Amino acid sequence: MASSSNSAPPNHKFDPNFTRNVINATGPKASPRIRQVIGSAIQHLHDWARENEITVDEWMSGLELINEAGRMSNDRRNEGQLVCDVLGLESLVDEITYKLATSAADAPTATAILGPFWRADAPKRAMGETIVHGIEGGDHTLMHGVVTDYLTGAPVEGAELDVWHTAPNGLYEQQDPDQPDMNLRGRFTTGKDGRYSFYCLRPTSYPIPFDGPAGTLLQLLDRHPMRPAHIHFIVKAPGYKPIITQIFDRADKHITDDAVFAVKDSLIVDFKPLQGNDRAQFELPYNFRLATYDEAKGNDLKGATPASTAV
């Protein structure tokens, strides 16, 4: 029970045994990892409440925001994830999960958050095809490059690039009834040379959805909801650790203040004007470097598979 504070040091304002009692209620059959992670969460949660003297009303307001995020979440939108993103948590666990012990310049391609808009089973397309359908305008871009083994430099055969980005109106296709299903998404598989190419749009910056709790939080924090223009990728190949990442347009005015804190220096790219191609006005060369499971293991590269992070 939460005992009275007989054993409290004289200046201790709140029951000094309470948090230990809650943590110690954990039973002997809890897994060591659960005991550690949830025990630590209880300690931080309680320390936060005491340090800031959180009142019942404040706790209830925060709880209602979190409950509402859950209520809004479905297979097309994950508002709880968006709340985490605004607080920097997804970018942080991404860093923690994929951190390489090495800081070698030739490391595998850096990762960035999955975000809430990935969809499984994007259409498989032939190399060189476009992912743009039913869209007026936009800066068409030829993106191309090679997927290599980061240690040997050898091209990776059978690498699948799963790509997705927003339309010029700032909406992903599942947010926008006017776009064809699976628009601006595609999966491309490399041949022996490891090379890939496809047509997409030069993406636009856009606001994350701010009609729910994440928007409320941004408003309370006096922050904008804009993300710098970016293209999402999951790159995977047999025997290699999958990489979830995003690349960002250096010219975007929000490149230094992403609402979800996902930008990393090595993921900033330059779109180049393209001449003599009637299908595209820009070119974007970009290479992906993958690590095998053994290479990743040697470098403390932990990671989640895309399937298990599906939302």
How many residues does the structure list for the chain? 311
Closer of 14 and 191 to its own copies (Cβ)? 14
**Tokens 């890939």 sit at which residue?**
196
Q: Is there binding between residue 29 and its own copies (CB under 8 A)?
A: yes
Give me the least distance between CB of 60 and its own copies, in Å please.
6
User: Which of 122, 269, 274, 311 is in the footprint of its own copies by CB under 8 A?
Assistant: 311
Query: What DSSP designation does 246 have?
Result: E
Query: CA-to-CA distance for 121 and 70, rounded, in angstroms?
Result: 25
Q: Is there binding between residue 293 and its own copies (CB under 8 A)?
A: no
User: Which of 7, 12, 16, 48 is in the footprint of its own copies by CB under 8 A?
Assistant: 48
Q: Is there binding between residue 104 and its own copies (CB under 8 A)?
A: no
Per-residue x/- marks for its own copies, 179-218, CB under 8 A?
--------------------------------------x-
Give me the least distance between CB of 159 and its own copies, in Å please.
21
Query: CA-to-CA distance for 31 and 21, rounded, in angstroms?
Result: 19
Q: Is there binding between residue 93 and its own copies (CB under 8 A)?
A: yes
Closer of 42 and 274 to its own copies (Cβ)? 42
User: Which of 89, 122, 182, 269 is in the footprint of its own copies by CB under 8 A?
Assistant: 89
Hey, CA dihedral for 173, 174, 178, 183, is it positive or negative? positive
**Tokens 């003599």 sit at which residue?**
276
| Contact stretch for its own copies (CB under 8 A) within 52-60, 157-165, 171-179, 278-286 | 52-60
User: Which of 75, 136, 211, 222 is in the footprint of its own copies by CB under 8 A?
Assistant: 222
> Residues 118, 164: contact at Cβ < 8 Å?
yes
Per-residue x/- marks for its own copies, 137-156, CB under 8 A?
--------------------
C-alpha 143: how far from its chain's center? 21
Q: What is the DSSP string of 82-127?
A: HHHHHTTHHHHHHHHHH--S---TTPPPPP----TT--TTPPB--T
Q: Is there binding between residue 42 and its own copies (CB under 8 A)?
A: yes
Query: CA-to-CA distance for 213 and 219, rounded, in angstroms?
Result: 10
Neighbour count for residue 80 (Cβ, 10 Å): 19
**Tokens 């393209």 sit at which residue?**
274
User: Which of 7, 12, 16, 63 is in the footprint of its own copies by CB under 8 A?
Assistant: 63
